[in-house]
């Protein structure tokens, strides 16, 4: 019960902080739609960077699997560093998607509330129609972002297993053991990049649409 109360308090605090932030930004002439566009750009950029990071980690593992002779410890440390950077990249993507969803919820709730302020039925209908179409487009975008986000975790789990196994078994036999998983990992990374490309393309469309409407 205490945990639930604490969680509720945290949610209320975060919600209050977000509302205060939006109110402050509006005082400086920055509306929620502008914040949403900026956050979609940030999420898109994080996915572009994430794509490259996952490619780099996969490439590092590939080099290690082909490595013969020399300092295996050095190659392991390079792989471990790439894995850790991949974890950070995934966290950054998730964080930015959460921020996109947060401001979108605030924008659409405000938009719905403001519909009731119209005296003109015609203008109200036009605004409502625009709200519905914008929400639909955003919903599709968010779905693709979340789909790409979900594909990061299986990749990270396999990377983590490989790095952890090599940590305590840094020899040719161990490298052979993880080689069997490499083809599957390649497919997972390829699928992840494909999903990210879809989200990135939709992000660009959404940004262009929002900017053309402003």
Task: Give 10-residue mean pLDDT values along the chain (214 residues).
Answer: 48 62 69 94 97 96 83 90 98 97 96 96 96 97 97 95 90 85 92 96 96 79
Q: Are 124 and 118 in contact (CB under 8 A)?
A: yes
pLDDT at 48: 97
Q: Are 44 and 206 in contact (CB under 8 A)?
A: no
Q: CA 113 to CA 132: how far, in whole Å?
A: 14
pLDDT at 11: 47
pLDDT at 3: 52
Residue 180 CB partners (closer than 8 Å, separation 6+): none
pLDDT at 69: 67
Assigned token pair, 154: 């299986």
- Helices marked H in the chain: 2-27, 32-65, 72-115, 121-168, 172-179, 182-213
Whole-model pTM? 0.86
Assigned token pair, 197: 């490309």
Assigned token pair, 182: 């490499």
Q: Are 131 and 108 in contact (CB under 8 A)?
A: yes
Assigned token pair, 116: 């009731």
């Amino acid at each position: 019960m205490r945990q639930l109360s604490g969680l509720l308090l945290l949610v209320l605090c975060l919600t209050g902080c977000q509302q205060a932030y939006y109110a402050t930004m509006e005082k400086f002439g920055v509306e929620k739609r502008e914040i949403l566009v900026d956050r979609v750009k940030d999420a898109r950029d994080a996915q572009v960077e994430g794509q490259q990071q996952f490619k780099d980690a996969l490439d590092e593992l590939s080099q290690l699997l082909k490595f013969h002779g020399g300092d295996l410890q050095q190659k392991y440390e390079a792989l471990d560093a790439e894995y850790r950077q991949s974890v950070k990249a995934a966290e950054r993507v998730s964080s930015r998607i959460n921020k996109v969803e947060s401001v979108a919820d605030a924008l659409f709730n405000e938009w719905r509330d403001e519909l009731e302020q119209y005296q003109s039925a015609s203008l109200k209908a036009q605004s409502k129609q625009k709200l519905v179409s914008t929400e639909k487009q955003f919903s599709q975008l968010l779905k693709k972002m979340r789909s790409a986000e979900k594909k990061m975790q299986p990749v990270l789990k396999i990377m983590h297993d490989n790095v952890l196994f090599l940590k305590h078994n840094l020899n040719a036999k161990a490298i052979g053991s993880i080689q069997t998983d490499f083809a599957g990992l390649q497919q997972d990374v390829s699928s992840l990049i494909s999903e990210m490309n879809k989200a990135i393309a939709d992000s660009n469309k959404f940004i262009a649409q929002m900017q053309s409407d402003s």
